[in-house]
Structures are given as C-alpha cells and as structure tokens.
Amino acid sequence: MTRRSITKRAAVVTATAIVAVGTVGTVAATAGPAHAKKPTKKEIAGLFTTWNAALQTGDADKVADLYAKDAVLLPTVSNKVRTDRAGIVDYFEHFLKNKPVGKKVHTIVNVLDGNSAIDTGVYEFTLTDPKTGAKRVVEARYTYEYEKRHGQWKIVNHHSSAMPEG
C-alpha cells in the first residue's frame, strides 16, 4: 500500500467511525430514558404520601424499599449520612419509635424529565415520645430527588433538616 492509499483509508475509517458514533448517540438520545413521558407535578408530590404511609407501618424495611440502592439520606434527627440500605434502615428503625406523622406545609416540584424530578419544601412531623406519650411538632426543610428505575419511582437523595429558626 502506498502512503496515499493508507491516508485515504484512514480518512474513510475515521469518517465511518464518526458517522457510527453520531448515529448511536442520536439513537441513544431519542430512545433514552430522558424521553419517557413526563410525570405531572401532582404525581411527584404524591410520592410523599406513599413515603408517609410507609412510615405509618412502623416497618423500617418498607420505608427503605422506597429508596434506590445507591441513595443518600441526610436525615433530620441524625448527624450521620446514610449511603446504603443498612444505614437507611438503621435510621428509620430509630426514627419510627417516635411514631412520626408527616404533613407537607409548602412544596415545590420540578419535573426534570420523564425519569427524574425534585420535590422540595417544608414539612412538619408530629412525633410521640415513646416513654411519655407526649407529642411534639418538628418543622423541617426537605428535598427528595426521585428517579424512575425499572418502572418505579425511587428516592435517590433525601435531605431533611430542622428549621434553623424553629
């Protein structure tokens, strides 16, 4: 092969690779998860109802089932960041002893695409002291980041912190 035919062949191979990559990228972009039907803001806001109902069962595993395997939980009443199922279950085993009942006070939902959304705002929990039965209300800020995985909405990031001025 001459130097010219090698250069020409390299140009053809490079052009073919660019077209192939562009085609794959286009197919991936049009068929990918970002093009799933977008949920409504009401649907995303309603995921809190499911989570709150799981709290009412008193079963930490049921609550943890709503989180993705790689979820991050920055909980309200613990300084420990939870980054795996065992940590999330551990947190809720302790939190559920207070029989929490949540209620949203203010919510803002951002639907990012068909498979991801953020629900952020303020909620309050009525907690019952397991020893005395005394009830108290704790107001907190929250952020839930959701992703649809295998057809189910999962919490991938949950941050909750008591109101600093409350």
**pLDDT per position as a tens digit, 103-149:** 999 999 999 999 999 999 999 999 999 999 999 999 999 999 999 99
Sign of CA dihedral 75, 87, 48, 112: positive
CA gap 99, 128 in Å, rounded? 6
- What pTM value is reported for the model? 0.78
Find the DSSP H helices in the chain. 3-31, 41-56, 60-64, 85-95
Q: What angle do CA 60, 159, 67 make, to 5 degrees?
A: 40
Residue 33 · residue 115 · CB < 8 Å: yes
Sequence-distant (≥ 6) Cβ neighbours of residue 163 within 8 angstroms: 122, 139, 140, 141
CA gap 137, 103 in Å, rounded? 10
Residue 63 · residue 51 · CB < 8 Å: yes
**pLDDT per position as a tens digit, 12-71:** 444 444 444 443 344 344 444 556 799 999 999 999 999 999 999 999 999 999 999 999
150 vs 9 pLDDT, higher one: 150
Residue 146 · residue 67 · CB < 8 Å: no
